[in-house]
């Protein structure tokens, strides 16, 4: 009898060991499947574009967004302009001018460490950097164009496709399909938020600004409109996003001088545009960007 009990005990123990082993194998398999599916998920969200990458997979919020600011071909109030970037705590910037090193940075390798590039130039000559820059945009580099950057490279049709619009400010060289653009300084006008649910404009109210206006510039029909202006000296659409190749692009027409640089709404728009282009702006509940 005692032996029989011992045998039953042994059997029970053996069963318990088997159950534990089986459970262990199941757990290991499950965790493996979870890992693989997480990896697959990551790949699929990445391939569908940065806007869908879950926050948990994005770079840590504590890491600064590193940007390259490119200028050249147009004067501006430098100290006041860069003060704006100094005061953006989440952003660290490097500044380079065309003809002083900017051209060399516009390649896949050289721009690798920048999360986004901000152009505040009015460069007219696409040599020698245009091929390297196109390769960079093809690969996907978040890019923000500000104000007079709309008037860069008026002879280069592809530039209009990169920015989502273009302007020719040159009286002597009006290009076919691009009317001669006009500008007016120190205009007090009203800016309307055309899409209040986009991550860049989310929560912002229409606002007033003292800035330069442009008129008779080209806006491509496929851009996603963020801002419009209400003034006879201004074209209607003055801010948009779109995608060129694999690069998220923002254009903000505001930003001629200190009255704009110091405008709280303009600063918010610039900072959010940079973060959005860099894939670092949380979509929150608003995923309706293009």
Q: Is 224 a binder of Zn ion (CB under 5 A)?
A: no
Helix, strand, coil percent content, the chain, rounded in steps of 5: 35, 25, 40
Classify residue 179 by its DSSP letter.
P
Cβ closer to Zn ion: 141 or 256? 256
Q: Kindly determine how many residues on this chain lie close enough to bind Zn ion according to the rule CB under 5 A.
A: 3
Query: Beta 65-72 vs 91-97: how paired, if at all?
Result: parallel
Smallest gap from residue 57 Cβ to Zn ion (A): 39
Q: Is 211 a binder of Zn ion (CB under 5 A)?
A: no
Cβ closer to Zn ion: 148 or 242? 148
Whole-angstrom distance, CA of residue 232 vs CA of residue 1: 105
Smallest gap from residue 115 Cβ to Zn ion (A): 26
Q: Is 212 a binder of Zn ion (CB under 5 A)?
A: yes
Whole-angstrom distance, CA of residue 108 vs CA of residue 80: 31
50-109 positions binding Zn ion, by CB under 5 A: none
Among residues 150, 121, 123, 144, the alpha carbon closest in space to that of 234 is found at 150
Q: Is 18 helix (H, G, I), strand (E, B) or coil?
A: helix
Take residue 71 and report the two structure tokens written for it: 């200028």
Cβ closer to Zn ion: 49 or 258? 258
φ, ψ at 192 (rounded to 5°)? -105, 140
Stretch touching Zn ion by CB under 5 A, among 10-18, 93-101, 133-141, 250-258? 250-258
115-154 positions binding Zn ion, by CB under 5 A: 148
Smallest gap from residue 262 Cβ to Zn ion (A): 15
Smallest gap from residue 231 Cβ to Zn ion (A): 15
Cβ closer to Zn ion: 242 or 256? 256
Whole-angstrom distance, CA of residue 167 vs CA of residue 190: 22
Q: Is 256 a binder of Zn ion (CB under 5 A)?
A: yes
Length of the chain, in residues: 290
Cβ closer to Zn ion: 114 or 183? 183
The contact set with Zn ion (CB under 5 A) reads 148, 212, 256
């Amino acid at each position: 009898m005692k032996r029989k009990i011992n045998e039953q005990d042994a059997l029970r123990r053996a069963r318990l060991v088997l159950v534990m082993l089986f459970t262990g194998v199941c757990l290991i398999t499950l965790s493996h499947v979870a890992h693989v599916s997480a990896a697959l998920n990551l790949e699929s969200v990445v391939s569908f574009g940065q806007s869908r990458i879950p926050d948990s997979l994005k770079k840590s919020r504590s890491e600064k967004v590193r940007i390259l600011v490119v200028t050249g071909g147009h004067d501006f109030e430098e100290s006041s302009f860069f003060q704006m970037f100094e005061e953006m705590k989440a952003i660290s910037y490097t500044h380079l001018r065309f003809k002083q090193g900017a051209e060399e940075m516009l390649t896949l390798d050289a721009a690798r460490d920048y999360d986004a590039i901000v152009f505040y130039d009015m460069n007219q000559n696409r040599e020698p950097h245009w091929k390297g820059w196109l390769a960079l945009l093809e690969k996907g580099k978040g890019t923000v164009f500000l104000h007079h950057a709309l008037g860069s490279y008026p002879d280069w049709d592809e530039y209009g496709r990169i920015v989502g619009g273009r302007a020719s400010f040159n009286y002597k060289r009006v290009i076919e399909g691009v009317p001669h653009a006009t500008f007016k300084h120190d205009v007090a006008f009203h800016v309307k938020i055309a899409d209040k649910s986009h991550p860049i404009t989310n929560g912002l109210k229409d606002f007033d600004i003292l800035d330069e206006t442009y008129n008779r510039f080209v806006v491509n029909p496929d851009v996603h409109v963020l801002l419009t202006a209400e003034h006879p000296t201004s074209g209607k659409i003055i801010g948009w996003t779109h995608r060129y190749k694999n690069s998220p692009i923002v254009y903000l027409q505001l930003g001629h001088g200190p009255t704009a640089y110091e405008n709280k709404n303009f600063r918010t728009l610039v900072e959010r545009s940079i973060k959005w282009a860099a894939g670092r702006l949380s979509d929150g509940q608003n995923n309706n960007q293009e």
